Amino acid sequence: MRVKTLVENTSLSEHFENEHGLSLYLETEKHTVLFDSGCGSLFVENAQKLGVDLSKVEYFILSHSHLDHGGGIPEFLKANRTAQLYIHERAFDGFFAELPNGDYWSIGIDASLRDHPRVIGTQDLLVIDEELELFSDVTGQEFPSTANHHLLMKEGGTYRQDTFAHEQNLIINESGHTVLIAGCAHRGIVNIVNRFREMKGRWPDVVIGGFHLYNSQKRKSEDPELVHQIGAFLKQTGAVYFTGHCTGLEATRLLIEQLGPQVRALSSGLVFDTKNL
């Protein structure tokens, strides 16, 4: 599978812009997929620079209902007239971030997208075909991140801790080679990878996504000991990990120090083939 990184927090070079967000263009053996869209139109600009024709994308997958992953959906709908959009049915609830001053900032995607004719509301498990499948039924509680504490959902007039029931992960199966993609891993990358193993009876070959190890409210990385414990788990899986975005620069650096080439940093403009690592 070929991956072209359209949006990331950092850039491979000055030729590519970056923002706090994630968008990946995927060319599999059978399909073209856009996984997340970043905050706005930047993914369109970087797609052009990387020779990606967004009008030919077959599937759009939204990892979860935060604007740094789904803010560009209106731009995608302008650029593409045919793709189906797979969005979890809980993604249209109200989602907020609690700011340091106690105010609440809406960070969810536009709820009117629920009624768009090309949107398919997903649930816990969905097999799109023999190559693509989605899952969101992650129940593990290992190594929780404090970076989730200020992320909320609104039910009635009450704000409470987000359960991330709207977060889904993509599995790509290609001739015995399996890739797992997680947008922010709010449920914990360890728990997501463990759920993958429960489903497939093996570890993935490659994992791509953010690990949510940067607390944006406190503007600091998670405790280095927590990062080390997560790294120890990742190492024993034998998979290659591409990470960045909400993992944060410090945690990414620590993981690379601990695991060497088994962990690699994502950046806007980065292109790689998951079978040639």
Cα-based distances in Å from 38 to 7, 65, 231, 268: 6, 11, 26, 11
Cβ–Cβ < 8 Å for 98, 217: yes
Range of the domain at 45: 2-273
SS3 per-residue string spanning the chain: CEEEEEECCCECCCCCCCCCCCEEEEECCCCEEEECCCCCCHHHHHHHHCCCCHHHCCEEECCCCCHHHHCCHHHHHHHCCCCEEEEEHHHHCEEEEECCCCCEEECCCCHHHHHCCCEEEECCEEECCCCEEEECCCCCCCCCCHHHCCEEEEECCEEEECCCCCCCEEEEEECCEEEEEECCCCCCHHHHHHHHHHHHCCCCCEEEECCCCEECCCCEECCHHHHHHHHHHHHHHCCEEEECHHHCHHHHHHHHHHHHHHEEECCECCEEECCCC
Name the burial class of residue 101, with classes exposed (0-12), middle (13-18) and buried (19+) by CB atoms within 10 angstroms of its CB: exposed
Residue 219: predicted pLDDT: 86
Residue 242 sits in a domain whose CATH number is: 3.60.15.10
Low-confidence ranges of the chain (pLDDT < 50): none
User: Nearest CA to 269 among 104, 116, 49, 107?
Assistant: 49
pLDDT at position 184, please? Answer: 97
pLDDT in tens, 99-114: 989 999 999 999 999 9
Task: Report the DSSP pairing between strands 84-88 and 132-135.
Answer: unpaired
- pTM for the whole structure: 0.98
The pLDDT value given to residue 22 = 98
Q: Look at residue 218 in the predicted model and tell me its pLDDT.
A: 79
- The contacts found for 260-264 with CB under 8 angstroms, 24 or more apart, are 262/234, 262/235, 263/231, 263/234, 264/240
pLDDT at 217: 79
Instruction: Determine how many CB atoms are found less than 10 A away from the CB of residue 14.
Output: 7
Alpha carbon distance 196, 170 (integer Å): 10
The encoded tokens of residue 200 equal 């497939």
Q: What are 202-232's pLDDT values in tens digits?
A: 999 999 999 999 988 778 999 999 999 999 9
Number of domains composing the chain:
1
Comparing CA positions, the residue from 216, 242, 186 lying closest to residue 64 is: 186
